[in-house]
């Protein structure tokens, strides 16, 4: 990430953090303890993309170019607009949109991070290698999606939040949307990669 983009990401992160801190202060004044908890949770979550990037750099793991920016925006849309500003209640499709986006983008993150880590052995065709790479990325997306649903359940159970709004129906819908988005993204990767390989082989 170049300096210009790095400054942009840090600026957006600071803007989000300030917004959440102000929301937390107003929540204390108005005694809205649920919004206070959600604001503090979001403040902590906004630090995570930078920690993950630091770990990836140390371990020499490749991440998408816009990883930090996309993750910051996603957290803000999910926690601040979704939970605190009740976009989940105002727009029926808000939750579906975010779950579809996360299911797709996690596949992309997995594909980037596997480059240089998983290598193709001699004798393995490109088609077979890409096929299993796509399956692996798809599996990572579904695993993280399932862990998120567990996080929502634990948050509701321990802190009396309302992240799992429709019970089993909400959880099942979220997982189905993530699976479909991850599957479509994996399929696109497989066929696009194979098309590119076939083009190069004809040259």
Question: Would you give the end-to-end CA distance of the chain in angstroms?
Answer: 33
pLDDT, tens digit (0-9, with 9 covering 90-100), for 20-52: 999 999 999 999 988 999 999 999 999 999 999
Domain count, the chain: 2
Q: CB-hemisphere CA count at 13 Å for 199? A: 6
The residue range of the domain holding 10 is 1-85
Same domain, 80 and 90: no
Minimum mean pLDDT range among 39-48, 115-124, 166-175: 115-124
Same domain, 35 and 97: no
Band (pLDDT 50/70/90 cuts) for residue 199 is: low
Instruction: Give the per-residue pLDDT at 168.
Output: 82
Same domain, 74 and 108: no
Q: Are residues 144 and 67 in contact, defined by beta-carbon separation less than 8 angstroms?
A: no
CA 71 – CA 7 distance, rounded (Å): 16
Please state, rounded to an integer, the average pLDDT across all residues of the chain.
90
pLDDT, tens digit (0-9, with 9 covering 90-100), for 60-106: 889 998 999 999 999 999 999 999 999 999 999 999 999 999 999 99
Same domain, 128 and 159: yes
Same domain, 79 and 112: no
| pLDDT greater than 70 at residue 1 | no
Instruction: Give the per-residue pLDDT at 16.
Output: 97
Same domain, 95 and 184: yes
Structure-model confidence comparison of residues 120 and 186, the more confident one: 186
> What are 25's two structure tokens?
């202060």
CA 203 – CA 201 distance, rounded (Å): 6
pLDDT, tens digit (0-9, with 9 covering 90-100), for 138-167: 999 999 999 989 988 887 888 777 777 777
Same domain, 101 and 28: no
Same domain, 25 and 102: no
85, 103, 131: which is the final residue of a domain?
Answer: 85
């Amino acid at each position: 990430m170049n300096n210009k983009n790095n400054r942009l990401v840090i600026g957006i992160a600071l803007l989000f953090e300030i917004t959440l801190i102000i929301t937390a202060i107003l929540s204390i004044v108005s005694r809205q303890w649920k919004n206070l908890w959600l604001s503090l949770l979001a403040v902590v979550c906004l630090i995570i993309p930078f920690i993950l990037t630091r770990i990836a750099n140390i371990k020499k793991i490749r991440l998408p170019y816009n990883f930090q920016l996309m993750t910051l925006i996603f957290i803000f849309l999910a926690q601040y607009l979704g939970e605190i500003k009740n976009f989940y209640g105002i727009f029926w499709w808000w939750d579906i949109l975010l779950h579809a986006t996360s299911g797709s983008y996690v596949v992309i993150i997995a594909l980037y991070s596997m480059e240089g880590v998983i290598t193709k052995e001699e004798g393995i065709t490109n088609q077979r290698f890409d096929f299993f790479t796509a399956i692996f990325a798809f599996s990572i997306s579904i695993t993280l999606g399932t862990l998120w649903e567990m996080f929502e359940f634990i948050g509701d159970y321990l802190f009396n939040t309302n992240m799992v709004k429709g019970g089993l129906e909400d959880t099942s819908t979220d997982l189905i949307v993530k699976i479909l988005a991850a599957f479509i993204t994996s399929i696109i990767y497989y066929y696009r990669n194979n098309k590119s390989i076939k083009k190069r082989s004809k040259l």
